[in-house]
Amino acid sequence: MKNAKDVVAIIPARCGSKRVPQKNRLVIGDRSLLDRTAGCIERSGCIDRIILSTDDPDLARDAASYPSIRVAARPDRLAGDDATTEDVIRHLIRTENLAKSTIVLLQLTSPFRTGRDIAELLEEMRKTAAKSGVAVCRWRLPPSPPFGEVSDMHVLGRSPRIDYSPMRSIHNEHWAINGAMYIFQADEFGRSGKFYDENSAIHVMPNWRSIDIDYQDDVEIATAIAKARNL
């Protein structure tokens, strides 16, 4: 897809991760998350520039192997637990002169996103004249209501009074944002402060490719998928 605006992929990758240490430097299958992301960007054929925002010196060193990736050192004030991705994007729009760009926000933790996913979402935005777009999958009902408290390891405990019957009626009939891609106009984000809204274009990904690595279990599931599907 040809775009009148500069199309810039931004990869935010903070060093600190409490649930999965050094999450952004993981290897899934035989490929690092950085290599998987760089590969899908290249295969999309849609990206003019790539910026990696990180405070991780090891990840920055890994990125030096990819000539197309510019590493933007993340300041300390944007490297703490309180900093948001929105804060990082605002900083990069200002410091990297991106005010007139189309931004493709890609987390490293979506290992099975493809270049075709990126290209098709950009194309959907073009066809519908949408100012933003997101990757989604089918929303699924949680397998069980919550019980008890995790601090008590001996009994199930009570279930909170939550009425799940309305949720069952919409099982698999709505979209869930999977975090694999957010595409938006920098100037529009500057006005709204949002990556998406109810009018955003969507690109539907299968649930197995929508895995987002946030817990150790996700690492094991993604590794198993990569092995089973030779990815």
CA distance 176 to 214: 16
Model pLDDT for residues 196-228, shown as the tens digit of each residue: 999 999 999 999 999 999 999 999 999 999 999
- pLDDT value at 3 more than 60: no
CATH architecture label of 7-226: Alpha-Beta Complex (3.90)
* Structure tokens that stand for 46 in this block: 């849609």
For the chain, how many residues are written? 231
Contact partners, residue 82, CB within 8 Å, separation at least 6 = none
**CA distances (Å), 111 to each of 35, 57, 80, 114, 180, in order?**
9, 21, 24, 9, 9
Model pLDDT for residues 37-47, shown as the tens digit of each residue: 999 999 999 99
Model pLDDT for residues 47-101, shown as the tens digit of each residue: 999 999 999 999 999 999 999 999 999 999 998 888 899 999 999 999 999 999 9
Domain ranges of the chain: 7-226
For the chain, the maximum distance between any two Cα atoms, rounded to a whole number of angstroms, is: 60
Q: What mean pLDDT do residues 103-111 have?
A: 98
Kindly report the backbone phi and psi dihedral angles of residue 70, in degrees, each rounded to the nearest multiple of 5, phi listed first: -95, 125
pLDDT of 16: 76
Confidence of residue 142 (pLDDT cuts 50, 70, 90): low
Please state, for a pLDDT cut of 70, what percent of the chain lies above it. Answer: 90
Q: What mean pLDDT do residues 102-107 have?
A: 98
- pLDDT value at 145 more than 90: no
Model pLDDT for residues 160-189, shown as the tens digit of each residue: 665 555 545 545 578 899 999 999 999 999
Confidence of residue 153 (pLDDT cuts 50, 70, 90): confident
pTM to 2 decimal places: 0.90
